[in-house]
Amino acid sequence: MAKSIFREYDIRGIFQKELSEDTVKKIGYFFSKEVLSKFPEAKYISLGYDGRTHSPILKEWMTSGIKKTGLKVLDMGLVATPVNYFSNYIDNDGKKVDASIMITGSHNPAEYNGFKITIDKGPFFGEDIYALGDKVLVSNLKIEDNIETIKINTKEEYINYMIREFSHLKLENKSFVFDCGNGAAGTVLRDILEGLNINSHIMYEKPDGTFPNHHPDPSEIETLEDIKEELSTGIYDLGFAYDGDADRIAVLSPKYNFKGDVLALFFSRFIDNPTVIGEVKCSQIMYDTINTYGKAIMYKTGHSNLKVKIKETNASFAAEVSGHIFFNDKYFGYDDAVYSTLRALELVHNNFNYDKEYEKLPQLFSTDEININTTEEKKFKIIDDLKVTLSNSPKEFPVIKDIITVDGVRVVFENGWGLVRASNTTPKLVTRFEADTENNALYYQKKLLELLN
């Protein structure tokens, strides 16, 4: 087992190679011990899994580890990650959830899987995950099979909640297309849309962990080709696409792909005096515009980081460029692509025109996210070395106005900015550049990548 599977905000690795039976059982056991140390009266951990072919196997291994401690497992079956989170906020037939574990590889390739963990409605991440990894690595504990669970129907409660909360939507003259990408969104989407009488065409609805139609990552341009083709017919007003576990969304019109920071701008206009948290990849337009009528806060990338910051600031919501959106004004402060879909449709209900409002925004040029392959061992060291180099940059380097180090390095230049940060989920460096012109953005990209090399 590689220690690198224990990441900043979740646990993720390749099935069998890194997520073996022994490892997964121990993760379940030592996490459950942590729950009991904080809540001695705890009884239940809720467990859900995505549509990957090995997720049901991981569920059995995880269950055995949990039950070794005496805790019981509430089994919701194949669900989207937000449904798993939802179990922390409902009654579950009188069974209070003390922690939850979602088995999912999210947007990673089919051979990956992992665990997104919640304890007492908050993320289990950072130093807690690293400490858990240390215990797993040194343990010689043998855990027998014990896969008996208590079935719960969280999915039905979630569907009914969404229909109830958005029953006011009137969209009879509109039509929309949805690409589930053979991920977990397909387990709830149709029932919700039909319950709200929304005209819809759902693509790749059936969960299939081999992802036969395209990779389950809507932030990658090539995965959106099919839904763009549907939108080009002129039949649909908007399109929505999801990642493998439905905590991330892409929203498209026939003309544009609205990234998470643009959506944050749109949503913020319908909230009085909003406080919005963005990550370091978000456009400066988002921060500057929201600050004219509310408050925008720049913070670290990562779903766990943003959930903690939401609680700390009581923000209205948070957003990542990649499509994680965490509503806290009328929801529970976690990332839910299905709920975000309904909030996006609510704007249409309110006669909001996505294309026209997008075209009114100041025009800056942003590069797509550019990933640079490295190793788990090197990626953070490279960022530290880059900070040192920037403190004494070469004479021919563009003038630096500010260096923001909340997450990686965001270098603010005279006419734009460039970002280099280490991915917390893959052995890569993530870069993005934005400027007043395409030439300036590409110039900043060239100079910063030269320095990085």
- Active site includes 106? yes
Write b or e for each residue in 117-126: b if 16 or more Cβ atoms lie within 10 A of its Cβ, otherwise e: bbbebebbbe
Question: How far is the C-alpha of 8 from the C-alpha of 382, rounded, in Å?
Answer: 17
Q: For residue 450, what are the contacts with CB-CB under 8 A and spacing of at least 6?
A: none
Contact 337, 185 (CB under 8 A): yes
> Could you give the CA distance from residue 369 to residue 109 in angstroms, rounded to a whole number?
18
Contact 419, 431 (CB under 8 A): yes
Q: Closest by alpha carbon to 371, among 431, 433, 450, 417?
A: 431
In whole angstroms, what is the distance from residue 170 CA to residue 29 CA?
A: 48
- Give the DSSP letter string of 326-360: EE-SSS-SSB-HHHHHHHHHHHHHTT--HHHHHHH
Considering 106, 200, 283, 423, which one is annotated as catalytic?
106
Backbone angles phi, psi at 45, to 5 degrees: -120, 130
Using N-to-C axis directions, what is the helix angle for 337-349 and 260-268, rounded to 10°?
A: 50
Distance, CA of 276 to CA of 289 (rounded, Å): 11
Distance of alpha carbon 211 from alpha carbon 397, whole angstroms: 44
10 Å CB burial of residue 315 (0-12, 13-18, 19+) is: buried
Sign of CA dihedral 115, 116, 122, 126: positive
Query: Catalytic positions, please?
Result: 106
